[in-house]
Amino acid sequence: MKKTPLFEVHVKLGARMVPFGGWDMPVLYSGIIAEHKAVRSGAGIFDIGHMGVIKVSGPNSFPFLQRTLTNDLSKLAVGSSHYSIILNNSGGVIDDIFVYRMPEHYMIVLNASNTDKDIEWFRKNNKEGAEIEDLKGRLTLFALQGPKSQEMLQKIVDIDLKSIGHHKVASGKISNVPAVISRTGYTGEDGFELFFDASQAEKIWNDLAGLGALPCGLGARDTLRLEAGMPLYGHEYNEGLTPLEAGFGFAVKLDKGDFLGREALLQHKDEGFSKKLVGLRMTGPGIPRQGFQVFKGDRAIGYVTSGTMSPTLNVAIGMAYLRTENAGIGEIVDVGIRGRMVGAEIVKLPFYKRH
């Protein structure tokens, strides 16, 4: 199992460690509900050092990434970031990623479980000769999330955080440590993702925790992203599912010109989709879990991809792929939960949206 630079800190804090994507990661510290609520009301800090990070540079970096990714890189200004997707030739999702445009290069964050596969894919498809550098081991990442995150972080940074808008990125110093600071996250709250030298991980973690940020694990990260309707690779995405079926067409610019997987997506779009990702709000007792079947009457119409008891809404929620003809907002369906049929309503995503 791989370990982030903070592994010993997590153990000292009494975190429950679990395997995740080949990494030994904290799933919880004080408890999933407490950590979840801290992010919704104050601020929580996450070690996301398991995520992959690559640097793409050189004069051919733009045409390379424009051809291999779904979003339109020509619209991405220096100091900005956007969500994008890597597709296979069938239009299925190899990974969903974040792209940051720095003054002289691009920085890309990859899912932990897909990092090695993604880097190999980038290198294999690098016809333009862009420079691809794996930053794993040199950089690490934290996420500081919640409505009080700016107030806390401002106390130890040397730049005005108000100048960093949503999906913007800037260079600065955190506790005198050079860092890249982006206003992004995976929780549905305001917050920041921080990139800096791995050797400074414990120092910055302790400084942020000392300001009141609650340590949070993968458990709260999952319940938070689910309330926010955000996909998780291996649940809402895989190589047999397209981003258009999942409702993330905003990250797919079919009119930007050719990119890998575009022809397959155009064909899927013309033919129409047989299934669609929807939100489920349970009306009966029970929590929908990944793999549970969804029914209309006695007919199976789909399956659950993710589910939990929402700590914010105090109701069980889930996401599911359903037959398109049965995926209308407001429709009533049943989820098969351990031999019982439990009612659910199809609702618009996200379940939670910050003020």
Arithmetic mean of pLDDT, 181-210? 98
Q: Residue 184 maps to which CATH number?
A: 3.30.1360.120
Name which of 236, 208, 201, 206 is nearest 222 in CA terms.
236
> Does residue 117 belong to any structural domain of this protein?
no
pLDDT of res. 100 = 98
Whole-number Å distance between alpha carbons of 19 and 31: 18
Would residue 290 count as lying in a domain? yes
Check whether residue 165 and residue 39 sit in a common domain. yes
With bands split at pLDDT 50, 70 and 90, how would you rate the model's confidence at 198? very high
Average pLDDT over the chain, rounded to whole? 97
Query: How confident is the model over 74-84, as pLDDT tens digits?
Result: 999 999 999 99
Confidence of residue 215 (pLDDT cuts 50, 70, 90): very high
Note whether residue 108 is domain-resident.
no
pTM of the entire structure?
0.97
Choose one of 168, 197, 227: the last residue of a domain: 227
pLDDT above 80 for 135? yes
Question: What are 63-102's pLDDT values in tens digits?
Answer: 999 999 999 999 999 999 999 999 999 999 999 999 999 9
Mean pLDDT of 264-275: 94
Q: How many CA atoms lie within 13 A of 278 on its CB side?
A: 26
Mean pLDDT throughout 312-324?
98
List, in sequence order, every residue forming a beta bridge with 354; answer none if it has no partner.
Answer: none
Tell whether 150 and 205 lie within a shared domain. Answer: yes
Task: Give the CB-side neighbour count of residue 260, counting CA atoms within 13 A.
Answer: 22
What Rg value do the Cα atoms of the chain yield, rounded?
20
Final residue belonging to a domain, choices 169, 202, 227: 227
pLDDT at position 6: 98
Beta pairing partners, 52: 110
Average pLDDT on 289-300 reads 98
**% of the chain at pLDDT higher than 90:** 99
For range 307-330, the mean pLDDT:
98
* Shared-domain flag, residues 33 and 182: yes
**141/223 same-domain check:** yes
What count of other Cβ atoms lies within 10 Å of the Cβ of residue 248? Answer: 21
What's residue 262's pLDDT? Answer: 98
Closest CA to 343 of 315, 306, 311, 305: 315
| Overall domain count for the chain | 2
Domain that holds residue 287: 274-347
My answer on whether 286 and 223 are in the same domain is no
Q: In this structure, are 208 and 281 located in the same domain? A: no
What's the pLDDT band for 355 if we cut at 50, 70, 90? confident
pLDDT of 120: 98
Q: Look up the CATH number of the domain holding residue 294.
A: 2.40.30.110
**293 is a domain residue:** yes
Nearest to 187 by CA among 48, 340, 336: 48
What is the C-alpha separation between 1 and 285, in angstroms, rounded?
37
Q: What is the mean pLDDT of residues 6-22?
A: 97
